[in-house]
Structure formats: structure tokens, C-alpha cells
Structure 1
Amino acid sequence: MPTSAPRVRVLGPVEVDAVDGAVSTLAGPTARALVAALALASPPGSSVGVEALADEVWGEGQPRHPRASVQTLVSRIRQVAGVEIIRSDAAGYAIAPDAVDLVCAQARHDDAVGLPLTDAARLTALDDALALWRGEVGGDLGDAPAADALRAASARLRDALRRERARTLDATGRAADAVPAWRALHDAQPYDDEAAAGLLASLRAAGRTSDALAVFAAHRARLRDDLGSSPGPALVAAHAALLREDAPVAGRVRIGLRSAPTPLIGRDGDLAAVATLLAEARIVTILGAGGLPTSSPSCRSRACAPTRMCRSRSPRPWASPRRRRAGGCRTRRRAPICAPACSR
């Protein structure tokens, strides 16, 4: 990883170190575009041909003599920054890779990725790389095609550095610092599942489960409304894990059944009779006169045997006295019409 300060800086307004040690922004957008095109060489430090440089600097509006125009720009840059700043060979022109801030930032990213997530040097390398950005990238290059290429390369690298930094903060137990890091990534790319998952994980680690659930709900709604899609399996699994953690841990909760506010006293025999009938039939109806408790035994029996249906029924007030006196339990051997709904 380069340790010296880069002499050519393109992560912001294009600058070079002049011969006298001062910082020069170079005169004219075409000279700056030429420096940017050389900084984008792949692999770094390789020579770029004259025709390719002309395309990156002028695009379709090239001068009458592109080769001579490129040579003139190179001479102007060398006059400011020194002859050694741009190397020439038979293939074209090149800038030393360790002199360019973009290449230095990529090298620091690669070095950081090679370190363990919990290594303090990893976070230092990522912070040093991110500190190389000084402002708007490509804004001083005019309409040169190199401006778009430089902005795209800068955005990709900066996003990768920020993601690695957020992961490192999570791994080192700094969830409070990771939350704003992931939130900035999610705000910049609101449809990105990975950024949303990172934000959920950091909020979860910070003890902010309700905020994490709100982030997932907003992300899912945004995907549905804007793109007609849904979150990916990894993000859905992370959300399910949050829901499981957010559920009460004291006692088992059955959705759809009311919990008994008071203990049921003196009905052990009735509950045993209902349990026996539930073992033989899918539906058991508990009948009783008005005022006689039938709902509590019914709910208790359903809690014990959720795959069977147990319901209470009190006679109508205008029913015959004989029917009102007919308390107790009655079984129905036929399968219930709503058996699938009742088994939940």
C-alpha cells in the first residue's frame, strides 16, 4: 500500500503537485480530463493510446489533429508538474500508479479486506482511504467522457469502502457507530437489500428492534410501490429473526386464543371429560344454562388440544326448560365445515 501522499488527485477537483511544491488545478478542463483518463488506466499505471485519450477528452467533438492536441496537453501538464509526472512509450502515455489517489484508495481497500474483521488496522485503512475524497468528482472536467467514467469508478470504490467500514464497525461491537454508516448507504441506494439488511443488523445489535422492523416495513413498501418487487430471501430471513426475538419469551403464546385471567377452580372433572371427548371427536360442544360458565372450560380445552374444536353454547332465553336443564357436553361426530380454520 502506498504510504506517500499521491501527487495526482482526481477524487474531487483534479489537482497535481507542481514542481515548486504548490498545488495546481491545471488550466482548462481538457488538461484535467487528460489526467483523469490516465488515472483510470486499467491496469493502473498502464499506457493509454493517443486515440483512446482523445476519445476520453473530446468525445465526438475531436480536434482536427488529435495526436498533436494530446501532445500539447501533455507538454502543458509536464511544465506544471514536472517531466516525470507523465511517462511516454511506444504504446502511449501513463502515470505512475502510486502517484494517483484513486489507485491509492483501491490499494487501501484491498489491504483492509485482507485483514480480519475485528482487526483495528482494518478500520484505520478504510478511514484513510475515505479521507482521500475532497469534494465533487468530475465536476471540473466539462463535457469530457472521462468525467462520467471517473464519477462511476469513484462511486463504486467509495461505496465498497463504506460497506466494509460498516461491516467492520459491526464486527468490533460498535453498533451505535454502524447504524449511521448503514443508514447513509441505505439512503443512497434505497432499493438495495444488502444495505437494508446491514441497517437491520446494526439496529438489532444496538437494541433498537422496533426501529429495525420499521426499516424493513418501509423498504418492503418501497420495493412494492416503486418496482413491483419484494425483498430477497436473506432480508426476509433477517426480518423473521427479528420477529422471533421481539416475541414475548415468558410462556408460549397461541395466536387467536384468549388467556385465562383467573384460574379455573372446581372444574377438573369437567375438563377431563372434555379432554376425553376431544380425543374421540373433532368437535365438542359444551352446553350450559345462562350464567353457567362454559367459555372458560372451552378455552382451556382448546389450549390443550388446538387441533380439535371445542365451543361453548348457552341456550337461548326462549328455549324450553327441558333444553335449558340439559347441561353437560355433547359430541358431534361429523367433521366441521371450518375444520382448516379451527385447527390454527
Structure 2
Amino acid sequence: MFNYFFSVIIWIIYKTHMEYRIGGAKYSCLMGKQTKFCLQIALLVLIVTLVFVYFKLPSGDSLPDGRLEPSGEPDALDKYLNQQFQFLGVGGKQKNALDPKVKELEQYQQLVLSILHNSDANCRLTEFMIRNGSCKAGINETTSYSDILGTQVYTVMTTCAGEHMKRPWVLFLHGMAYTTRVWVETNIMRMTASFGFNSIAIDLPGFGNSKGSKKVSSEVEFINDLIDSLKITKFVIVSPSMSGRYSIPYLKTLNPKLVGFVAAAPTSTELLTGTDATTIETPVLIMKGERDNQLGKVSLDNLARLKHSTTFIVPDAGHPSYVDNTPVFTREMIKFLLCMSSETQ
């Protein structure tokens, strides 16, 4: 746009300084007697040029090929869809390109198909089983602080609007380098809620927006207090990396409210004993990044001893597999949640 207006300015300057001939006589626009006449010429040139610019420029904020150009920094959902699922420009309607609700619905539909095409012998999911318990209304996302063991803990909740969901809640913890933002910006929380699993993510004490020290009196009591404050009766923990110091001791308590456990290379798995391998009844999904040969391998070796554990190697991913390969991580996690919830409902 700037280039067009710059051209207009140069064109006007040229016209108002040119010399012209009338009846064989030579005149200049800089001559005082001809000022009015020159201004009329300049005005006419300006009008013609603006009309040309109007018809020359593409309409709206579209690109030459008709695709809409996003304005400003894309939001978290735009980043996720552009970088991970790449919906925009792939068979979608142009008018939907800037509509987050439409993109979210497309993402849900793609996940449903991906789950159906990647089912395994241990859990045969049908489309009816998937959609029957999914959220039919919109997704609400709220943030707040909860007083847990005297610490102000920052929480993000994604819930199905106006519906009482029968499926378990999902508690998202985070690793040392991340906070609740990782679950929000990858859109994993909203997708989880779309499939009927209301979700909560927290900044652990001393991290992100939460207050207090990074050390708590009891990690087990911390999770108990959190779950009790929300009046949650059954839930699943998604635990990556450093959060294992909270989740693994809690897994060992055999609390019946914990109906599932997604392990994304958590720490503290060395706390699991031979007795735990036979007494822990909670279904566990072990998610290891293909390139995570340090903590991921140690975590896998220890957790694989649990009798109700299954393992999935996330391709093209390192330690934070939920960031490196978000679509596959999300698909396998939701598959696990659906299979697990069909047994626990």
C-alpha cells in the first residue's frame, strides 16, 4: 500500500514542476500567473491516480491469490493450527480462516478421524463411543487462584459450557521449563474438553503465576487438597518431567479418585517399588519422545513394570513430546482417556 501512495506523490511533484506548451508558447507551473491552472492539473492527476490505486489494489486484507492475510500476531490457536495441523489453505472455506470456533471444530473432526484410523486391538473405539460423550456446547475457559495448603495457586479451567460431563476430569501438571501456558497455547486443554473431559491446569507452587515457595509440606496433600477444593470425584493426571515429584507419590497412594495416569517422562519414577508394580491398579499411559534417551528412557523402564501400563513412542519428538509432536501426543492421550473412561463409567 505504501508503494502506491509513494508513487502518487512522485507523480504529483513531477506534474506540478513540469513545463508545457500551449499555442507554441512555453510555460512553467512554477510561474506565479499559472498557479491556479497548475493546481487544477495537479488535482486532476491526483483524482485519476487515486481511482487507479483503488482498482489496482486487492480488496480487503486479501493476498493476490485470494487468501486472507491474518493481521497482527496470531493467537495461540492460530499458531497451533498453522504449525501443527495446517488447516488453513487445505480445502477449507476462505471465510472460515479467521473463525476460531470453526477451526476448533475442524480440529475436533480431524482428531475423531485420526483416532478411528489409529485404533488398536486393546481398545476398539467407534465413532458413536467417541461423539456420544463429547461436548455439544461451547468450551468455557476461566482462570483463577485457589488457596491450596496456604499457597495461592494459579489455575486454568476448560469446561463444557452448560453440560454436566460424566467423563473424568484431567489435571495437567507441567515441567521445569513450562507452566499452564503450554497446555493452553498448544490447545491441548480445549481439545480435551471438546471430547468431554473437563480440564484443569495449574502453575505448581513457585512457578508461573503461582505464589509461594517451590517446596510444599506434602506433594500428596497438595494434590488431595486441590482435588477436594474442586469437588472432583474422579480424574486423570497428565504429568511431564519435573511434575513427577508430585504425581508419582500420589500414584502410589492408590487413591480411587485417580482413574488414569498419563506419564510424559516424569521424574521420581525411581520411587516405584516391586510392590507398587503389583498393587497399583490405575491404568498408565507412558508417552516417550522418540529422541528422549535420558529421562524418558529411565521413566519408561520404571513405569513399564506396572501391570496396567501401556507404552507409546511419540515419533519426531524429544523430551517435551507434547510440544514437539502435539497432534500425535493429543491423539494418543485422548484415545487413552476414551478407552479408560469407557471402563470406569
Same-fold call, TM cutoff 0.5 = no
**Which structure shows the higher strand fraction?**
2
**Which structure shows the higher helix fraction?**
1
Largest Rg, 1 or 2 = 1
TM-score norm. by structure 2 comes to: 0.21
TM-score norm. by structure 1 comes to: 0.21
